[in-house]
Amino acid sequence: MNVRKIVTYVEEILTEGGRPVEPAARVAVVAAIISNPWAGQGFVEDLTEGIDSTASDLGALLAPRVIEALGGEVEAYGKAAIVGLEGEVEHGSALIHTLKFGDHYRKAANATTLLPAVEKRSAAGTAFDVPMKHITDATIRSHHQSVEVRIADAPHPGEILVALAASAQGRPQQRLAALSTEL
């Protein structure tokens, strides 16, 4: 795995809806920009070799970093893969939609639900939203949220940007009733 750079983004929301958020709502994102393991090979029928050589190491790299950046217990989480223009969306999906990648984060966050994800192919500097849901119950509405990310010089055409997002709480000032009230 060839990592060009790692970017860490932390946001603290202090006021929402004109009211203080106490404690501050904290969200962290850590992204690694890596060389696409399938770049320059044309159409690759079997992606297994690239998955085996990259996905687990990438998960092991990102999971502890996003938890450390958050600085607290993870309550909501998500992931993203943005593939440079010389790759395919399937390349990003191959790396993040495998237990070899995701289990590093699930174990580190004591999570049980599947990680919500976004993946797309785009030029450097594209903005993307990482969706997040509660780590143990995807029906908890307060934790359905997203964080916008943009890295000016990534991904290059032959790269993949892979990111993990974490939130220490649900949305600030959330007031929706529990899903069970509608069933």
Q: Where are the domains of the chain?
A: 3-182
pLDDT of residue 97: 97
CA 24 to chain centre: 21
Is residue 108's pLDDT more than 80?
Answer: yes
Q: Region 140-164: what's the mean pLDDT? A: 97
Q: Is the distance from CB of 125 to CB of 153 less than 8 angstroms?
A: yes
Q: Tell me the helix, strand and coil percentages in the chain, rounded to 5.
A: 25, 35, 35
pLDDT of residue 180: 73
What does the alpha-carbon distance between residue 151 and residue 97 come to, in Å, rounded to a whole number? 22
Is residue 5's pLDDT more than 80?
Answer: yes
What does the alpha-carbon distance between residue 161 and residue 158 come to, in Å, rounded to a whole number? 10
Q: Is the distance from CB of 58 to CB of 103 less than 8 angstroms?
A: no
Name the band, by pLDDT with cuts 50, 70 and 90, for residue 126.
very high
Is residue 26's pLDDT more than 80?
Answer: yes
Of 41-45, 61-65, 165-169, 178-182, the poorest mean pLDDT is in 178-182
Is residue 114's pLDDT more than 80?
Answer: yes
Which two tokens mark 59?
A: 């998960």
pLDDT of residue 177: 76
pTM value is 0.95
CATH assignment of 3-182?
3.30.1330.110
Q: What is the mean pLDDT of the chain?
A: 96
